[in-house]
Amino acid sequence: MFDIKENLKKLPDSPGVYMHKDKLGQVIYVGKAISLRNRVRQYFQSPKRQAPKVRAMVSHIAEFEYITCNSEMEALILECNLIKKYMPKYNVLLRDDKTYPYIMVTTSEEYPRIVKTRIIKKDGNRYFGPYSDAGAVNRIVELFSSIYKLKRCAAQVFPEGFRPCLNYFIKECRGICAGGVDREEYAKDIEEMIQFLSGKDKPLIKSLETKMNEASDKLDYENAAKYRDYIADIRSLAETQRVTMINDKDLDIILPVKDADNSFIVLFPVRGGKLSGRETFQIQSGEGDTRKEMVSEFIKQYYSQWAVVPPEILVEEEPQDRELLEEFLGREGHKVSIFVPQKGDKRALLNLTRHDVVEMTKTLTDKAESRREKEKAVLDEMNRLLEEAGYPRDHGDRNRHVRVESYDISNTNGVDSVGAMVVFSGLEKVSKDYRRFKVRTIEGPDDYGSLQEVLYRRYKRALSGDKSFIKMPDIIMMDGGQGQVSAARKVLTALKLDIPVTGMTKDDSHRTRAIVFEDGTEIDLKERPVLFRYAGTIQEEVHRFAIDYHHKLHGKNAIHSVLDNIDGVGPKRRNELLYYFKTIDAIKRADVEELCKVPSITETVAKKIVEYFA
């Protein structure tokens, strides 16, 4: 057993990172210290002077670990990495940071592309964001790909005779694969695009206006109208730029927002002297966390994953560890200043954004209240459903979100049958726990058998200790009726698992009609509007997930089964045949002479194709 008093005596007087753990061995807090001995001992002194959050945390500490470092900077970097790894309960956390999309310009490639991504890497590419509006990111990516006819595929090497894709033929790509693209002109267009993404829209608009006027002078009114529309779209995307400063600098403004129930960080990026938007990040923080602590933790977690840090960061209150943060952000010779502006344009800009945050807080509070009401209504309905299923929750669990798993089978006349599993926790889709299954043992259109195979594989892996399947649901809600529920129950009984199972049936209009139990009894959802909407959401999501996977698999196999089974026809010849003849039916009708018109098809291969389809 871990003896806290004895281990406190062994702590070194050196910089490092410490991790507090609960009785289950889970990390509940990660911190850094100049002196591990002094810092860790403070937690176990008189609780009278401790904040309520610290007292609560200390009451759950069963053991601690520490890692010594050579410097406070090294400890700060390690602390950031461990917080991201463990997501401790009592740390201030940037929530859902991985869900915000970025725009990546693949400048590491000879001919860069513009793509949406949610992962930042140190790979030589340029990243812009994160953006809270994923729709805006999609519009930007599509707009620039169209304006500049950028390369859209990830391929880097194009062998001789390579056939361009559809984008080339519909003039949505210059055709790098076909050769003849001016590299300098392409690079110039990429630079224009990067300037816009950095908040400098004037060069791009000026360039498009020039092209519009040139087209108009040549009486090419169709292209002139196209450039006119591009300009309108660009100006629409740049509408968030609301104020201009006197100088031409890049900086970020970080302001904390906190009420009784929620905490947010609001980030205002200023690029090229223009206030170019507003991003809101929800923060997990405790009652005793100060606004300074929120800002400090946000800076560490946000900028540690962000490739470009502006030279200045404006804040309302100076963080306690400002100098250390500046050193942390200013690695590799890039100087960063974190400060509170006292006068001038920057002070005026800070005041403007502070006023904006005050107004925004009212909206955030209203949205949060509305979401809490929805979550409470769904929780009450799911607690009631579990009682009706004969599985009432303990009093201590009734305030915890109900974890729901739902399953569906998709196939085409029994071919390429797949299973899908989606997970909900309250209103949230837990997409990282979604799973897909290729049905292996069932032939033909047997949904019940396919379902049983999927459930067996899922729960067998859970029982074997597979970490990716170990979390168990509070309830299983099948897409289907009594038959699906009975099929699921047989598998659970065989595995000696006792999990409630219900079905979700639809009416003739394909709307969720009722919740079905194993004995055939139903809950009519006409009188249960909250459960009706929630069940409908789950049912549509599991159906979508299953259909998407089936279509992807079936489309791939459809081509393979017809052409790749012919002796002498590999991927290259298959693609050339499809490119030349357009359809499988046309290939079937072709004779040897016609087939030999395809460059890579020899007379021997042509005869084999004709024999195959004979």
Domains in the chain: ranges and CATH: 4-91 (3.40.1440.10), 99-237 (no CATH), 251-363 (3.30.420), 403-538 (3.30.420.340), 565-613 (1.10.150.20)
- Please give the average per-residue pLDDT across 369-380, as a whole number: 85
DSSP assignment string, 69-80: -SSHHHHHHHHH
246 pLDDT higher than 60 = no
pLDDT of residue 276: 65
Closest residue by Cα to residue 576 from 561, 592, 597: 597
- Please give the average per-residue pLDDT across 579-589, as a whole number: 81
In sequence order, the 6+-apart residues with CB closer than 8 A to the CB of 450 are: 409, 411, 417, 419, 439, 442
CA angle at 166 for the pair 160 and 172, rounded to the nearest 5°: 105
Dihedral over alpha carbons 22, 23, 24, 25 (to 10 degrees): 60
| Model pTM above 0.85 | no
Q: What percent of the chain has pLDDT over 90?
A: 26
What's the pLDDT tens digit per position in 24-63?
Answer: 788 899 999 999 999 999 999 877 777 777 888 898 898 9
Reduced to 3 states, what is the DSSP secondary structure of residue 215? helix
Helices and strands (DSSP H and E) totals, the chain: 19, 21
153 pLDDT higher than 80 = yes
Closest residue by Cα to residue 42 from 71, 11, 76: 11
CA 569/CA 211 separation, integer angstroms: 47
Q: How many CB atoms lie within 10 A of CB 597?
A: 11
What's the pLDDT tens digit per position in 529-582?
Answer: 899 989 999 999 999 999 888 877 766 655 555 677 788 888 778 778 877 887
In sequence order, the 6+-apart residues with CB closer than 8 A to the CB of 593 are: none
Mean pLDDT across the chain, nearest whole number? 84
456 pLDDT higher than 90 = yes
CA 4/CA 420 separation, integer angstroms: 47
359 pLDDT higher than 70 = no
More confident position, 280 or 61: 61
CA 514/CA 523 separation, integer angstroms: 5
312-315 and 251-258 beta bridge pairing:
parallel
Distance of CA 329 to the CA centre of its chain: 25
More confident position, 372 or 33: 33
Residue with tokens 């899922």: 458
583 within 8 A of 170, measured Cβ to Cβ:
no
CA angle at 158 for the pair 155 and 161, rounded to the nearest 5°: 140
Q: What secondary structure letter does DSSP report for 16?
A: E
Q: How far apart are the first and last CA of the chain?
A: 77
- Min mean pLDDT across 161-175, 176-190, 260-274, 315-329 is at 260-274
130 pLDDT higher than 70 = no
More confident position, 320 or 360: 320
In sequence order, the 6+-apart residues with CB closer than 8 A to the CB of 376 are: none
In sequence order, the 6+-apart residues with CB closer than 8 A to the CB of 140 are: 103, 114, 197, 237
Residue with tokens 């812009």: 128
More confident position, 126 or 562: 126
Beta strands in 217-278 (DSSP E): 251-258, 263-271, 274-275
Q: Which helix (H) or strand (E) holds 549?
A: helix 529-559
Beta strands in 147-278 (DSSP E): 251-258, 263-271, 274-275
In this structure, what token pair is assigned to residue 159? 């062998």
Q: Which helix (H) or strand (E) holds 33?
A: strand 27-33
Closest residue by Cα to residue 539 from 450, 420, 426, 411: 420
414 within 8 A of 445, measured Cβ to Cβ:
yes
CA 155/CA 508 separation, integer angstroms: 47
pLDDT of residue 366: 65
CA 512/CA 536 separation, integer angstroms: 5
**Residue 202: is it exposed, middle or buried by C-beta count within 10 angstroms (0-12/13-18/19+)?**
exposed
- Please give the average per-residue pLDDT across 253-270, as a whole number: 82
Helices (H), 245-343: 291-303, 322-329
In this structure, what token pair is assigned to residue 331? 């690695």
294 within 8 A of 261, measured Cβ to Cβ:
no
CA 154/CA 173 separation, integer angstroms: 13
pLDDT of residue 357: 78
- Please give the average per-residue pLDDT across 581-601, as a whole number: 86
Distance of CA 338 to the CA centre of its chain: 29
In this structure, what token pair is assigned to residue 446? 């047997």
- How sure is the predictor about 585, in pLDDT bands with cuts at 50, 70 and 90? confident
CA 199/CA 193 separation, integer angstroms: 10
pLDDT of residue 570: 81
- Min mean pLDDT across 124-138, 316-330, 458-472 is at 124-138
- Please give the average per-residue pLDDT across 413-425, as a whole number: 86
416 pLDDT higher than 80 = no
- Min mean pLDDT across 64-68, 425-429, 508-512 is at 508-512
